[in-house]
Amino acid sequence: MLVFKFGGASVKDAKSVRNVAKILERYQNEQILVVVSAMGKTTNLMESLVDAYINQKDFNSILDEVKSFHRNIIKDLIGDNSQQFYEVENLLIELECALDTDMLSNGYDFVYDQIVPYGELISTRIISHFLNENDITNRWLDARNFVVTSSHHRRARVDWDTTKNLISKRAKKLIEKQLTITQGFIGRTIDNTTSTLGREGSDYSAAIFAFCLDAASVTIWKDVPGVMNGDPKLLDDTTLLPDISFKEAIELAYYGASVIHPKTIQPLLKKSIPLYVRSFVDEHAPGTIVQDHGLQNVVEVPCYIVKDNQVMLSLSSKDFAFIVEDNLSHIFSALASSGIQINLMQNTAISFTICVNNDAMRIDKFLSIIGDTYLIEKTEKLQLLTVFNPASDSNLSSIGEGKKQILEHRTQNALQVILQ
């Protein structure tokens, strides 16, 4: 059994949906579960719908955009019969009804999860219908009947026991019989409301299903040839990484590589299910395989990861006292309670420096906890460049050119610099 995942870019318009059909046609003899995201940039559009709803602004023009975007794709795919495409029309009515309901007292995260998933519900209905019309017989499956989560809306955690039970007992039989299309990103809480797994969570959904189905592999179809050693938009000479270990994939995701959603690896690692990252543009190209190599490193070239919009916070003690254990534990507990993730840290005798994402709310909270105890220097608009697996004479490549390097940090397998 195989799990395929098609992201927003791979189903952004009618032409892309036809391309998905062409790829699936080649796998008619396999048992496949296809996990699909919302089309193109729909999730961003749905988020602006939520924002308008929350702020009690007029959201009708955004709603119209959601409708016309999908109706145009349907028209292009199905032609004149598209008027009768009730499955999508019904979802659009449901969405409208949801927006008519007063959910404000339930808070932003709850509202988000009742609105944004329509992107995935609609895209899978369109794709499933189009495939059926083109003799790629398939069944549409509501992921919410199988992926059961906690009620932490917008960042729901999977209830593995229940989910595994439902998928292995119920979904598996269906997938064995017929090609199955389902949604990424969404699930259902124990008390039966829709939940989501976090932005870009469809890769994770594919991994959840693969784990529970004991799938032979997961394939993520993308608009790039596979996992590259850097962002081709930023670097001249990027090269494909044909083989990566699970450990390296986790490290790359940790340093900020965006190709694979960080949570995706863990379920696959547990069952040694290989992950293929392949191009939907050139479906015959080999792509990348991420697989179990234990603790061995298999990536042979340096990998470049850039994080923009970074903030550097340097804390020093007011009386030149050493930054010792007591201070560090105070600083770390303040970081944890403000929900800040550290991208780089360095300490000297009298100072402690971290580089973090520019999340004003979290940083303010952190500073309000520790502000009186330390002298704090804050520098904004920085870039963090990580060279993973740097060559011994590693330079910073063209990315760092013309920028001032304000901090350098080396570990055994990574070189990190903060650039201004």
Binding flag, residue 277, ligand ASP (CB under 6 A): no
Token pair in block for residue 180: 């199955």
Q: How far is the CB of 199 from ligand ASP (least distance, A)?
A: 4
Q: How far is the CB of 128 from ligand ASP (least distance, A)?
A: 17
Binding flag, residue 271, ligand ASP (CB under 6 A): no
Q: How far is the CB of 17 from ligand ASP (least distance, A)?
A: 16
Binding residue (CB under 6 A) for ligand ASP from 3, 8, 14, 338: 8
Binding residue (CB under 6 A) for ligand ASP from 14, 34, 36, 38: 38
Looking at the chain, the number of H-run helices and the number of E-run strands are 13, 17
Eight-state DSSP code of residue 167:
I
Alpha-carbon distance values, 315 to 63, 264, 380 (Å): 47, 35, 15
Binding flag, residue 247, ligand ASP (CB under 6 A): no
Binding residue (CB under 5 A) for Mg ion from 4, 5, 8, 277: 8
Binding flag, residue 149, ligand ASP (CB under 6 A): no
Number of chain positions touching Mg ion (CB under 5 A): 2
Mention every residue, 6+ apart, whose C-beta is less than 8 A from residue 16. Answer: 9, 10, 280
Element (H, E) at 130: helix 118-133
Q: How far is the CB of 155 from ligand ASP (least distance, A)?
A: 12
Partner whose footprint covers residue 199, from ligand ASP, Mg ion, none (CB < 5 to 8 Å by kind): ligand ASP
Beta strands in 223-370 (DSSP E): 243-245, 275-279, 288-291, 303-317, 342-347, 351-357
Question: Of the two residues 201 and 225, which places its CB atom closer to ligand ASP in the complex?
Answer: 201
Binding flag, residue 184, ligand ASP (CB under 6 A): yes
Token pair in block for residue 355: 């580089």
Helices (H), 101-201: 108-115, 118-133, 160-166, 172-177
DSSP sequence for 397-418: TGGGTT--EEEEEE-SSEEEEE
d(CA 156, CA 163): 13
Q: How far is the CB of 185 from ligand ASP (least distance, A)?
A: 4
Asked if 161 and 14 count as a contact pair (C-beta separation under 8 A), the reply is: no
Q: What is the amino acid identity at position 273?
A: I
Beta strands in 81-164 (DSSP E): 138-140, 148-149
Binding residue (CB under 6 A) for ligand ASP from 10, 16, 43, 327: 43
Build a one-symbol-per-residue string for 195-234: x at contacts with ligand ASP by CB under 6 A, - elsewhere. ----xxxx--------------------------------
Build a one-symbol-per-residue string for 92-131: x at contacts with ligand ASP by CB under 6 A, - elsewhere. ---------------------------x------------
Partner whose footprint covers residue 184, from Mg ion, ligand ASP, none (CB < 5 to 8 Å by kind): ligand ASP
Alpha-carbon distance values, 18 to 40, 223, 276, 306, 351 (Å): 14, 15, 22, 34, 57
Helix (H, G, I), strand (E, B) or coil at 308: strand
Q: How far is the CB of 275 from ligand ASP (least distance, A)?
A: 15
Q: How far is the CB of 8 from Mg ion (least distance, A)?
A: 3
Eight-state DSSP code of residue 334:
H
Where on the chain is the footprint of ligand ASP (CB under 6 A)? 7-8, 37-38, 43, 119, 184-185, 199-202
Where on the chain is the footprint of Mg ion (CB under 5 A)? 8, 37
